[in-house]
Structure 1
């Protein structure tokens, strides 16, 4: 059998299975490996220069491929692994590294990197713990990525960084292998004398101690997979510093913090100095498209915020900023973290960010817009408490808190950090002799100045920054941005009667704007949104989180490690004379002529002021309890029957009587005095009066306003598929009115009969507007929030503090100019042509009205204060009630076509009307005003929802 077996083994019939037998046989694998390795050495030694010997380079590449393939295949097979053992015993990796470094051949370098990666992945023979292996690999990586190496492709660079990342993963899982890759050479005092200040500051003398560390540092700014591998590998090394005192000291004395801070500064410097906020032409939000929005001009110096290049630069900068945050989160060494934060403050904050804020201006093309936008994006992206504290503490010029100096323990890491701090201070002093001081001009001064700017984009981005600080970092704004006072007891809380009265007042103001949409559903959605918004505020957590123990009355504070962090927020209220509040109210007074972006941010900032759980609304948002006055002869006050005189004052029955009496007192509604209202409510009343003035003087104001709401509805949802109109019989056809288009008459009939389906003419009108403006079907709610619906079928009128009464809204009717007898029915043959021509004429009239320019109308102050009570609805002003019914509507329209319209829309050439009243210089289109009116009504509902949600969530209403 042996003879025949040997004979069959050499026949061609057995060649198909010979490769499988060869792979399974460890001895034959080893023989093949040794043969390939010897041929590799032979080719290398007999080649004088691989860079110019293409044939030899190709042979070496093939041999390296074979060696890597054999090792990879063997690592997946069961033991024994003679090839891997041979590579470890003969140190095959040493000549492989030398061949790759001297070849200057991209393909040989690639195969060498794969060879080393295969040895590491085998997890045998302790390659990563071997000093010779680590020395050969680090020498290879340093040489092929150095300045004198050939230019490598992105694929090979990715493999190199991935190989370095795999090594850091091994170090993280097993810190005992760190000494093989990190060898600290202690530099004594004699060596330090020969190093100048710049070298001491940058740490160049220690680069050879940890080459792998600096290899990763060179790639942390790259995008894609390369940058991800480099940043993550560096995080693993920093995390390993907690288990090695030598590594911790080395990181402190190295130039890690310097390179990271200067790299962040370099990315910040690449951002455009001048910026304009814009939207792509095909993605303009509907609330802007249906206004006087114009695309700002940009050029080679002023960059648009929607430019792809600008967006790429901002994303790169923010990604590196988040890498800073990741480093601080992974760093368990206090000294390393302190060194990083110190360099972040000195190099980035003091040398770059603050000077850019100080030098910004809104008159040079948008530098204020740029720097305020960058600061807002920074505060939105970062949530590490120490980084936030450094940024806001410095920019807001908060007082420094000097911590007690720790006892000199002789810790070598602490001593290293002190030396690094001195070097940093010396270096910065030599660069800047007169550094700017935030004590002279801080972020608060900049915000107040920018809010008074005439550049609406500056105001827009400043309000966004204010909202970000209020929403995410409210405790920094309490004593700096806001003028507040503490609230010590519950005497400042509003009573139950005042709570219901003020919600009714806000609803009444929204009711004066009117509309055919059902605001019950809108208000319910706003309540849900406001509840989530209040609960997610960082200050609300300790107020709404249930206590886990009776002894645990306070939640742990925010984990700040810096002593200068502000204390936790306490109960406070905003002073009515607060400068920021009054500047915002000044802007609110010109609401209808403001740009829509400004109004969106303005209303957002007001709500953000009221969302914090520790911020009391009384005094600036609502009436102060100290201003409550009650009528003695109020008919609603029914005194409780006096208790039995023999009743013991200490008894439970007497206590219940007193409690019921207090409850009734708190349910009384105070006398509504216009002079006791905070300025915010007075401004809102003024704006609603201006809406009434617009209604009286702008033709078809209510119909155009309803069309604008429906345009937002169509933009907020996918437009429905148009359905063919239903066939009408002559008997069901409504008679037409002489001189009035029949389509207009149809809309009036629909308004009087809400149970019928609304015709598709309004949807067609809104779709036509959106299509002409190039606006896609996307979220188009006036507040800019996708989750909030703006259209419904009835209005909510809260009648007391516990229930909400759903009351249908009376539909506004618009009477034609003249009423005559119905003409003869139109023949069915030409009905379509007549309707089309009349619809076009009707739309042309609306377009001419929407394009007219108007200003802010003058309104008379209210003669009598608004009084609200339980037994009546809020004063919802309708067209019929305000003008005396349909006949009055006819008169109002007649005035609108004549003197009433001209009084508002057509001033004389000298800027005065016939009555001699000076008209506001700034004018906007009627279309712009309509959008702002819808936004105002939404804001009023949102204010009411804030009052109602806070009352239930924070127990802000007194019943006793």
Structure 2
């Protein structure tokens, strides 16, 4: 009955006395004082709270009640007598002592909550009170120190969150900084004759700023606690620009040393030996439909698919990005220089470069490891000073360090001397000291590209791509041999451009295929446009000009002396060693691993992305060497003779110039660049494969449809590309709506487990995306046999997602090609026995091992039996028994001469080449329009 009466009256379910006390300030204060007195009485009457559990629980409850009263009062209208009482009586001092000496996590947690409530009330100027700050920091330092009890993760989060809240208030109101930071005067007896900035050299005084060091202890943690610590430290460093004492204190503290050694410790935790691999149930179809084999792992050699490795890598990169955030937030030049000096000496010179120097291609993956780590570092950073330090040192660029002219140079000199002393101490532990002047990153890249390991070549090509794409200005005079282009304006006439486009598209057409080329090529156009526009060097070319005729973008250049000058128009010299090495890898395209080919094609594209890199001379023929069928330059136009009207004469001259620009040059072997010659040789090799390998076109179309089936197996609407077709390729060179494909290039697409960023947001997508096989069972596991279905009846194309379950993935990779092929042929009216025979024959062809076709002057056909001969099948049932034994001896002999791969592997690489040709054509076309590289008049 009491319940109903309260409900009808609209009263609260809480006792009436408690509500009245909460609304009445006097009663609320009386209750607050009573709880506080009880707290002190229990504390004073207990000798050891760590053992007296009843007293500890009573104190915890009292602290909780005090915090609740304060929190409730801060939300009510004035007056707030409890908050005023807490400030006037300084009750936080005994509460801090109780929490400090209790060694009870429950009391500690309630004590931290009590202080947090006072700060959040924003009354009585608690954050500006020296006594309050000392009491709070004494509590926080003691409970997080070495002699304290081990706190739970939740309590630690609350401690660091409270510290972060303090830094937030310091950031909003720098005037409260003196309450938390005090640069105390030291004994000057030993500092006679020293500059004021040098008295602090090499010393650390944590008592001056305990909040600062509390946050440093947690910046390496993951989760919310690490986020609070790092962000709070950023706020303190940002506040240094408004306080000269704090700026000096940070410079002379061991912040830079702790951050650099912490980064080095995380780097040292990474495995020294690494192999790039995928989980068995997440193998991308482009690798599954090739001769991919999972690399061997041991206790020393770690797989990139390992969860432990990925966790260590993410932790290292997150701390590296924190370095970048610190530099971005730091407005003090002195603090920034101190951090960069320590980054270079402790991490770069003593850890990163020695690991590159000691890497080897013969010890099971150390080259793969360090090259991958360097690539991930360059991909994760975009701060110009950090990038400059890394590439300037590793590429052995000349130093340019003028003497500092600032009157406060001694501020950074103190920390520089300490870091150099540390570097000297570490250098004494190394018997042989080498510098990039003797062996730099260029030497390492060139040596690794000539390795016998396909994984080493692949990761090196990816590193090369990152440097070319993101930091091209550093590659111009180091990795590449370039020559400056002095001529202004376009040099390639429209007639030559059209012939070059016909040549590239014609090569793609020669490969063949049954697909819609227009849609494929449109995606390449979009992707090339996005990549070219997003390239760092292209910004000044396509951005609107300022009044002075130039476009300047502050912040993109390093503030450290010695940075490369602004990039100018240049071209790649044909004798460039890097180009020759890449062409050598391109020559063995069909026997290379798929990862290598995808990385290689990505490197060529990245080489041609820079707007200041002229592609004439190394990718396309040199315009200065064009030869035409007949030279009409000096032939006088008969229609001009006799004309007297200046306008008519000018019009006739313009028409003659237009006609001249549309002339088609004649190519000779000496004029065609080595790159196009090598591409032509690869297409000729495909013709040799088509001649010697039975059912080559049918198997190639099945492989294309296999990728289509794999890309349609998911529902994530991210468009990707489809290989081109011969049918529409011959009829159109124009653009159409986009289409998707089942494979992408590797440079940023094939290693999703390392978090490789995308090249662009275009549909072509050099994406870091896992690709899996279709759950419909259309793809086989062994040699990549695919059900020969019609591409016109394919469902809407969708990319391969990594979200497929293990069960679905295992079904998708189940080796069931024979059953699928048989079912398809049955639907086409083929008898069951013949359908099984056809499927078995195709599977056997895909399993055969072949090498590179012979040169034009050699006649060494690929050994295959005549499948049209009834005796070759081994029986009426269509079996292929004895087929593999036909040339076993020949395979063994050829294995010694060259690398042999399966026909299935060759088919996948053929599609990669076709995709690459279309990408090149789109790149040339977009560059011509975006950078005005073609002249019409």
Residue 303 (structure 1) aligns with: 302
Alignment partner of 1:205: what SS?
coil
Deviation per residue, 1:859-893 (Å, 9 max, x gap)? 4179xxxxxxxxxxxxxxxxxxxxxxxxxxx9996
Q: In the alignment, which residue of structure 2 is the partner of 1:956?
A: 933
Residues 359 and 597 of structure 1, relative CA distance in 2, 3 Å threshold: same
Cα distance in 1, alignment partners of residues 350 and 512 from structure 2:
54
Compare 522-531 and 396-405 and name the one that shifted more: 396-405
Contact 2:594-2:909 at 8 Å conserved across structures: yes
In 2, Cα distance between equivalents of 1:467 and 1:788 = 29
Partner Cα distance (1:832, 1:668) in 2: 51
Distance 2:871 2:580 in 1: 35
The structure 1 residue matched to 2:612, chosen from 611, 614, 619, is 614
CA distance 1:904–1:686, shift in 2 (3 Å)? farther
**Residue 839 of structure 2 is aligned to residue 843 of structure 1:** yes
Q: Name the SS of the counterpart of 1:485 in structure 2.
A: strand
Provide closer, same or farther for how the CA distance between residues 601 and 549 of structure 1 changes in structure 2, counting only shifts above 3 A. Answer: same
- Structure 2 counterpart SS, 1:611: coil
The C-alpha deviation readout for 1:8-59, integer Å capped at 9, x for no partner, is xxxx999942221111000000000111111111111111111111121111
Match of 2:811 in 1: none
Q: Which residue of 2 aligns with 1:456?
A: 454
Residue 708 of structure 2: which of 702, 706, 713 is its match? 713
Contact kept, 8 Å, 1:506 with 1:940, in 2: the verdict is yes
**1:162-189 CA deviation, whole Å, 9 max, x = no partner?**
0000000010000000000001013355
Question: How many Å separate the matches in 1 of 2:621 and 2:298?
Answer: 50
Aligned partner of 1:688 among 673, 676, 683: 683
Compute the displacement of 1:476 (Å): 0.6
**Cα offset for 1:574?**
0.3
Q: Which residue of 2 aligns with 1:737?
A: none
After the TM superposition, which residues 436-475 of structure 1 pair with which residues of structure 2 at under 5 Å, given as runs? 436-475=434-473
Matched, 1:429 2:398: no
Residue ranges of structure 2 left out of the alignment (5+ in a row)? 1-10, 716-772, 787-795, 801-825, 859-864, 874-881
Are 2:19 and 1:20 equivalent residues in the alignment? yes
**Is the CA contact 2:271–2:302 (under 8 Å) kept in the aligned structure 1?**
yes
What whole-Å deviation, never above 9, does each CA across 1:272-308 have from its counterpart, x for those lacking one? Answer: 0000000111111111100000000111110000100
Q: Residues 155 and 553 of structure 1: is their aligned pair in 2 closer, same or farther, counting only changes over 3 Å?
A: closer
Q: Show CA shifts across 1:568-611 (max 9, x none).
A: 21100000111111101100000000000000000010011111
Q: Tell me which moved more, 835-844 or 78-87.
A: 835-844
Deviation at 1:427, TM superposition (A): 2.6
Instruction: Assess, with a 3 A threshold, how the Cα gap between structure 1 residues 95 and 194 changes in structure 2: closer, same or farther.
Output: farther
1:743-782 deviation per Cα after TM superposition (whole angstroms, max 9, x unaligned) = xxxxxxxxxxxxxxxxxxxxx999545264699x9xxxxx
Map of 2:640 onto structure 1: 643
Pair 1:337–1:765, CA change in 2 (3 A):
closer
Give the direction of change, closer, same or farther, for the CA distance of 1:267–1:765 in structure 2 (3 Å limit). closer
Alignment CA distance shift 1:69-1:938 (3 Å): same
State how far apart, in whole Å, the 1-side matches of 2:586 and 2:12 are: 94
Does the residue aligned with 1:94 lie in a helix, a strand or coil?
helix
1:147 & 1:681 partners in 2: Cα distance?
67
Q: Deviations over 1:356-396 (max 9, x none)?
A: 00000011000000000000000000000000000000000
What secondary structure, in the 3-state scheme, does the structure 1 residue paired with 2:779 have? helix
d(CA) in 1 for partners of 2:829, 2:682: 43
Contact persistence 2:219–2:227 (CA under 8 A):
yes
Deviation at 1:565, TM superposition (A): 1.0
Between the aligned partners of 2:401 and 2:177, the Cα distance in structure 1 is 38
User: 1:208-267: per-residue Cα shift (whole Å, max 9, x none)?
Assistant: 100000000000000000000000000000000011000000000000000000000000
**Conserved in 2, the CA contact under 8 Å of 1:950 and 1:956?**
yes
| Cα offset, 1:490, TM superposition | 3.9
Corresponding residue number in structure 1 for 2:721: none
1:671-717 per-position Cα deviation (integer Å, ceiling 9, x unaligned): 12123111111111111111111111101000000000000111112
The 3-state SS of whatever aligns with 1:282 is helix
Q: Output the CA distance in 2 between the equivalents of 1:712 and 1:856.
A: 24
Count residues in correspondence: 816
CA distance in structure 1 between the partners assigned to 2:238 and 2:390 by the alignment: 24
> Quick one: structure 1 residues 19 and 652, their matched pair in 2 at CA, closer, same or farther if it must change by over 3 Å?
same
CA apart distance, 1:64: 0.5
Q: Secondary structure at the match of 1:573?
A: strand
Q: 1:487 aligns with which of 482, 485, 509?
A: 485
Q: Which protein shows a greater Rg?
A: 1
RMSD: 3.3
Counterpart CA distance in 2 for 1:641 and 1:610 is: 44
How far, CA to CA, are the matches of 2:871 and 2:688 in structure 1? 11
* CA distance in 1: counterparts of 2:906 and 2:250, whole angstroms: 61
Structure 2 residue 786 is matched with structure 1 residue 770: no
For 1:134-173, what aligned pairs fall within 5 Å after superposition? 134-173=133-172
- Once the two structures are TM-superposed, the CA of residue 837 in structure 1 deviates from its matched residue by 3.3
Residue 507 of structure 2 corresponds to which residue in structure 1? Answer: 509
Q: Distance in 2 between matches of 1:521 and 1:275?
A: 40
For structure 1, which segment, 484-493 or 310-319, has the greater mean C-alpha deviation from structure 2 after superposition? Answer: 484-493
| Aligned residues of 2:490 and 2:935 also touching (Cα < 8 A) | no
The one-character-per-residue Cα deviations of 1:778-819 (angstroms, maximum 9, x if unpaired) are: xxxxxxxxx99999xxxxxxxxxxxxxxxxxxxxxxxxxxxx
Q: Which residue of 1 aligns with 2:250?
A: 251
Q: Which moved more, 1:612-621 or 1:666-675?
A: 666-675
Q: Is the 8 A contact 1:392 1:476 kept in 2?
A: yes
Q: 2:411 corresponds to which residue?
A: 416
Alignment of 1:244-393 (within 5 A): 244-393=243-392
The structural deviation recorded for 1:832 is: 10
C-alpha contact (below 8 Å) 1:385/1:559 kept by paired residues: yes
Q: For residues 389 and 424 of structure 2, what CA distance do their matches in structure 1 show?
A: 20
Instruction: Report the TM-score, using the length of structure 2 for normalisation.
Output: 0.82
C-alpha distance in 2 between matches for 1:891 and 1:845: 12
On the 8 A contact 1:287/1:931 being kept in 2, the answer is: yes
Match of 2:850 in 1: 854
Residue 921 of structure 1 and its aligned partner are, at CA, apart by 2.4
Verify: 1:190 aligned to 2:189, yes or no. yes
Mapped partners of 1:474, 1:908: distance in 2: 49
Please point out which of 646, 649, 658 is paired with 2:653.
658
After superposition, the C-alpha distances for 1:324-377 in whole angstroms (9 at most, x for unaligned) are 000000000000000000000000000000000000001100000000000000
Secondary structure of 1:85 counterpart: helix
- Is the CA contact 2:234–2:325 (under 8 Å) kept in the aligned structure 1? yes
Q: Which moved more, 1:941-950 or 1:917-926?
A: 917-926
**How much has 1:519 moved relative to structure 2?**
1.1
SS at match of 2:898: coil
> What is the DSSP-based 3-state SS (H/G/I as helix, E as strand, rest coil) of the residue aligned with 2:483?
strand
Q: C-alpha displacement at 1:424, in angstroms? A: 1.8
Are the equivalent residues in 2 in contact too, given 1:22–1:28 (CA < 8 A)?
Answer: yes
TM-fit CA distance, 1:936: 0.8
| Residue-by-residue CA offset, 1:614-634 (whole Å, 9 max, x unaligned) | 110111000011221111289
Q: Distance in 2 between matches of 1:896 and 1:625?
A: 57
1:351 partner SS: helix
Counterpart Cα distance in 1 of 2:534 and 2:473: 15
- CA distance in 1 between counterparts of 2:138 and 2:392 reads 45
Deviations 1:922-958 (A, max 9, x none): 1000000000111111111111111111001101012
Distance (whole Å) between structure 1 residues aligned to residue 628 and residue 867 of structure 2: 39
Q: The residue matched to 2:571 in structure 1 has which SS?
A: strand
Q: 1:936 to 1:894 in 2, by over 3 A?
A: farther
Q: How many angstroms apart in 2 are the aligned matches of 1:236 and 1:553?
A: 33
Question: Whole-Å Cα distance in 1 between the matches of residues 437 and 870 of structure 2?
Answer: 59
Residues 765 and 152 from structure 1, CA distance in 2 versus in 1: closer, same or farther, beyond 3 angstroms?
closer
* SS of equivalent residue, structure 1 residue 268: helix
Separation in structure 1 between the aligned mates of residue 217 and residue 690 of structure 2, nearest angstrom: 66
* Residues 81-120 of structure 1 deviation map (CA, whole Å, 9 limit, x = unaligned): 0000000000000000001111111110011000000000
Q: Which secondary structure state, in structure 2, belongs to the residue aligned with residue 676 of structure 1? A: coil
Of 593, 599, 602, which aligns to 1:601? Answer: 599
1:676 aligns with 2:671: yes
